[in-house]
Amino acid sequence: MNPIIIDGKKTSLEIRQEVTEQVAQLKRETGIVPGLAVILVGDDPASHSYVKSKEKACRDAGFYSITERLPASTQQAELMTLVRKFNDDPLIHGILVQMPLPHHIDEQTVIETIDPEKDVDGFHPVNVGRMMIGLDAFIPCTPAGIMELLKRWSIDPSGKHVVVAGRSNLVGKPIAMLLMQKKSGANAVVTMVHTGAHDISIYTRQADILIAAIGKPHVITASMVKPGCVVIDVGINRISDSNSKTGYRMVGDVDFDSVAPLAYAITPVPGGVGLMTIALLLQNTLKATRNLLRKD
């Protein structure tokens, strides 16, 4: 079987181009451009790289963007003061505090300090609750990116058995909630499987659509999938590779080489879900801008 390779790069570029055009139109009509504030605390290399990608994406889309880089020694009170400053800044429509934070800072308290109307990461309990009951909300960017991939690649989950491997607040829980909603583009029968299961393959082999969000390289192998399934690999794992200039390479939670021949469609890593996250962050920030303009 030659699977459909779900090209996240192509789809993310389409979304980013759409956002760029809408930002230009918004500026022509109102004089307003979306403003995004990103706060980065500490020296995590992956976070710094990701924030640089966000900065470039904002520039390309015509956003107003601010990045505050703070040392790892920053105290929680100082961080929360900065968040509140951006809450009150009329030029800022979206606020993103890059995770993870240093261990001495309570991430949940920081998240709850962000104005829900500027919570473009979709982590505030208000947005999580609204998403849970099917109301309009900011959706976490990675789950939102998965939903866009399914939609734009004409993969209809309605009535399908979707198995979500992983139960994180960032991906597993929200994508399960989104896919079980009684609406177009969802309406799936969803099973969540996690480390509490003695053998996750009992469940993954039943999946019409398998979403792997475990955070471990090559956990999902060919013996764990049903022929003809759709495989969405959310994992981004760094493994050693002596043939690479960097000494490592990025792989997913799925053993692509063994699973792809069995799949109807599959996302690669890199080049799949990961690229969608920034595109949906831009989309969320544009949405926040429009919401706040309607309130003025």
The two counts, helices (H) then strands (E), for the chain are 10, 11
- Joined together, the tokens standing for residue 28 give 């022509």
Complete DSSP assignment for 231-287: EEE---EEEE-TTSTTSEEEE-SB-HHHHGGG-SEE--SSSSTHHHHHHHHHHHHHH
CA nearest to 234, candidates 264, 267, 263 = 267
Strands 237-240 and 248-251 come out as antiparallel
Complete DSSP assignment for 142-155: HHHHHHHHHHHTT-
**CA-CA distance, 106 to 101, in Å (whole number)?**
8
> How big is the chain, counted in residues?
296
**CA-CA distance, 89 to 110, in Å (whole number)?**
17
**CA-CA distance, 235 to 251, in Å (whole number)?**
7
- Contact between 274 and 236 under an 8 Å Cβ cutoff? The reply is yes
Residue 82: φ, ψ to 5°: -65, -40
101, 102, 201 from 41: Cα distances, Å: 6, 7, 38
H or E element: which one contains 107?
helix 107-113
Residues noted as catalytic: 54, 98, 121
**CA-CA distance, 295 to 113, in Å (whole number)?**
21
